[in-house]
């Protein structure tokens, strides 16, 4: 049974409203003045309050304002005279859920009960929607926390694998095998960098490539640049957000292209610059360019080294539904990839 509070200074109308609403199944409490009604609403829980406009002391609009200021305000149906449309509009703007025009006869109580029914039904739907939204927010928060934990564990696992590869490399005497394991370690680090960023960021579904590439390029510079063979790695990246799997593919491609440029573009004792650019191409695409001013590529020449890096680049580009192309007019090597953001 819904509890309603009816506030009206007219004693006869209060009694008629009480009888009429009780016949319709409402539990009715009456108040003569606005201050009395506000005090009752503050002390007890009501599903709905009806407020008359003209009352001595505190009028209906003042009463409505104080009811709306309660910690848990009930919905209010405002009761006005037949010629007071502006008052009804003011009440609705102040937060009333509905209004009813006061009249003589049974029609008024029928309209009042219908307004109560509609307001309570609407309030129930709004409460159910808020509850569902709150549950959804809680579910999303739990899923995001779970994803962060997963990414944290993946990053830790990749770090462990990288450490094992490094230990294995340190125990080898074959220089070619050591270099191959070091390349593998860098590929693992490029993937691990993605997951480290995911579990420390607010967004667990996408990676800020500007920040990610800055960290990756910094790691590559520390790996490849030395006093004997200085390598200057310069990054210019737009703030592009990529889904996790696409960020991993792009990170591995950057790792391979930059590593190849550091190894093969310049002689071992010659300083060299490698430039990495990531730019947006409209709203839905990005373009990656990695270039150097080194010795360039010989036409139709086979891959230098094992060729694994070339296959890795091709596989990662295919996962982005794209391909890496080379600019034949560039003095050194300029590799370009254009792909969709999502």
Q: Report the CATH architecture of 3-102.
A: 3-Layer(aba) Sandwich (3.40)
For domain 206-342, the question of CATH label 3.30.300.30 is answered with no
Q: Under the phi-then-psi rule, with left for phi > 0, alpha for psi from -120 to 50, and beta for the rest, what region is 91?
A: alpha
Instruction: Render pLDDT for 116-133 as a digit per residue (tens, 0 to 9).
Output: 999 989 988 888 898 899
313's CB contacts (< 8 A; 6+ apart) are 253, 256, 257, 324
Ranges of beta strands (E only) in 65-148 are 76-80, 98-101
- What's residue 204's pLDDT? 76
Please check the confidence at residue 261 and state whether its pLDDT lies above 90: yes
- What's residue 232's pLDDT? 96
89's CB contacts (< 8 A; 6+ apart) are none
Whether the domain at 3-102 and the domain at 206-342 fall into the same CATH topology: no
Reduced to 3 states (helix: H, G, I; strand: E, B; else coil), residue 87 is helix
Residue 268 confidence class, pLDDT cut points 50, 70, 90: confident
Mean pLDDT of 234-245: 94
Mean pLDDT of 262-290: 95
| Rounded distance between C-alpha atoms, residue 166 and residue 169, angstroms | 5
Tokens of 129: 């929607």
Q: Kindly list the domain boundaries of the chain, sorted by start residue.
A: 3-102, 206-342
- What's residue 230's pLDDT? 94
Please check the confidence at residue 134 and state whether its pLDDT lies above 70: yes
| Rounded distance between C-alpha atoms, residue 80 and residue 63, angstroms | 14
Q: Are 95 and 119 in contact (CB under 8 A)?
A: no
Phi, psi (rounded to 5 degrees) for 334: -130, 110
Q: pTM surpassing 0.85?
A: no
* H or E stretch at 17: helix 11-23
Instruction: Render pLDDT for 298-320 as a digit per residue (tens, 0 to 9).
Output: 766 656 666 788 999 999 999 99
């Amino acid at each position: 049974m819904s509890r309603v509070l009816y506030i009206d200074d007219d004693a006869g109308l209060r009694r008629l409203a009480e009888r009429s609403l009780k016949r319709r199944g409402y539990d009715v409490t009456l108040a003569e003045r606005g201050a009395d009604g506000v005090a009752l609403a503050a002390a007890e829980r009501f599903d709905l309050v009806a407020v008359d406009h003209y009352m001595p002391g505190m009028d209906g609009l003042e009463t409505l304002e104080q009811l709306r200021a309660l910690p848990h305000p009930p919905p209010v149906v405002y009761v006005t005279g037949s010629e007071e449309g502006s008052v009804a509009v003011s009440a609705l703007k102040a937060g009333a859920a509905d209004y009813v025009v006061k009249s003589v006869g049974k029609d008024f109580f029928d309209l009042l009960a219908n307004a109560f029914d509609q307001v309570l039904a609407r309030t129930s739907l709004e409460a159910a929607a808020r509850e569902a939204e709150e549950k959804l927010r809680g579910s999303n928060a739990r899923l995001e926390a779970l994803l962060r934990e997963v990414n944290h564990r993946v990053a830790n696992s990749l770090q462990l694998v990288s450490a094992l590869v490094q230990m294995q490399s340190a125990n080898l005497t074959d220089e070619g095998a050591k270099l191959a394991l070091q390349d593998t370690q860098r590929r693992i680090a490029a993937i691990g960098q993605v997951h480290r960023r995911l579990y420390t960021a607010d967004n667990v579904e996408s990676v800020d490539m500007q920040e990610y590439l800055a960290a990756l390029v910094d790691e590559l510079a520390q790996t490849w640049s030395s006093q004997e063979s200085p390598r200057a790695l310069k990054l210019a990246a737009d703030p592009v957000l990529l889904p996790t799997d696409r960020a991993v593919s792009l990170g591995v491609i950057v790792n391979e292209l930059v590593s190849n440029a550091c190894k093969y573009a310049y002689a071992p004792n010659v300083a060299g610059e490698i430039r990495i650019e990531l730019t947006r191409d409209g709203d839905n695409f990005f373009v990656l360019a990695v270039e150097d001013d080194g010795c360039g590529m010989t036409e139709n020449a086979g891959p230098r080294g094992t060729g694994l890096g070339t296959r890795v680049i091709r596989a990662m580009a295919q996962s982005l539904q794209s391909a890496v192309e080379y600019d034949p007019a560039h003095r050194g090597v300029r590799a370009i990839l254009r792909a969709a953001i999502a």
